[in-house]
């Protein structure tokens, strides 16, 4: 069961949203670190979650019991740097996260996965909390979802799922990043006819009919290993 709460902030004069997922998550997981000694299943659970966030282009921060950052990825650093924060060390990331959510109060509970959705620099973030025992030893995960971050499907996965050629795979990845077919043709020094032929083959193999439908499919597949 999912509960959505809309809360007013009298000081900031606006709303923020808290989403609570009361379902117990399935098996997902986390890597061993000096201040946390999870068992094998918990470690795999953390690594599964952070790996999925990495694949979809999300920044993530793993927090310990004291809400200090103990693990992160490059996308998290990039996201906070776009907000004007220094993000080279765990201390800087911890401070940057506190400032980012200062106007949208959030309680990152142990064992939870929280999504901080950022629209653009200076905007008040939307915070979505999924509560459940998914992180070991009092740790929690904060996912930074920035609209400037983009996800990329694994090329080998695309080829295995749809039987794409190498050229079709590269075309699919360029389209997923928002490149137009004619711009791709020019950058690759190919004719429009060649690109259109490859695009038609992509549509046929993926059972899609339009470029927007293909790009949406590629976005969903980006969570796969």
166, burial (CB in 10 Å: exposed 0-12, middle 13-18, buried 19+)? exposed
Cite the residue boundaries of each domain of the chain with CATH code 1.10.10.10: 155-221
- Does the pTM surpass 0.75? The reply is no
Q: Which one, of 167, 166, 175, 165, lies nearest residue 216 by Cα?
A: 175
Give percent of the chain with pLDDT exceeding 90: 44
- Pairs from 83-88 (Cβ < 8 Å, separation ≥ 24): 83/118, 83/121, 84/121
In terms of DSSP H, where are the helices of the chain? 40-55, 74-82, 90-100, 155-162, 166-176, 181-188, 192-206, 211-221
* Mean pLDDT of all residues in 2-25: 42
- The first and second tokens of residue 34, run together, are 């000096």
**What is 155-221's CATH topology?**
Arc Repressor Mutant, subunit A (1.10.10)
Q: What is the pLDDT of residues 33-81, one digit of tens each?
A: 444 444 567 677 788 888 888 888 889 999 998 999 999 999 999 999 9
């Amino acid at each position: 069961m999912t509960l959505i709460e809309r809360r007013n902030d009298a000081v900031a004069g606006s709303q923020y949203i808290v989403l609570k997922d009361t379902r117990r998550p399935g098996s997902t997981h986390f890597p061993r670190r000096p201040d946390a000694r999870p068992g094998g299943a918990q470690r795999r659970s953390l690594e599964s979650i952070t790996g999925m966030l990495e694949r979809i282009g999300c920044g993530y921060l793993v927090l310990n019991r004291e809400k200090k950052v103990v693990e992160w990825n490059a996308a998290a650093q990039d996201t906070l740097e776009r907000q004007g924060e220094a993000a080279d060390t765990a201390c800087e990331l911890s401070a940057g996260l506190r400032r980012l959510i200062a106007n949208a109060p959030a309680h990152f509970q142990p064992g939870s996965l929280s999504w901080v959705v950022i629209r653009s620099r200076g905007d008040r973030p939307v915070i979505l909390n999924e509560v459940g025992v998914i992180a070991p030893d009092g740790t929690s995960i904060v996912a930074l979802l920035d609209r400037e971050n983009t996800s990329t499907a694994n090329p080998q996965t695309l080829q295995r799922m749809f039987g794409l050629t190498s050229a079709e795979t590269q075309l699919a990845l360029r389209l997923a990043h928002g490149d137009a077919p004619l711009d791709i043709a020019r950058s690759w020094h190919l004719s429009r006819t060649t690109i259109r032929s490859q695009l038609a083959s992509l549509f046929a193999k993926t059972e899609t009919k339009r470029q927007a439908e293909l790009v949406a499919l590629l976005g969903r597949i980006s969570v796969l290993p």
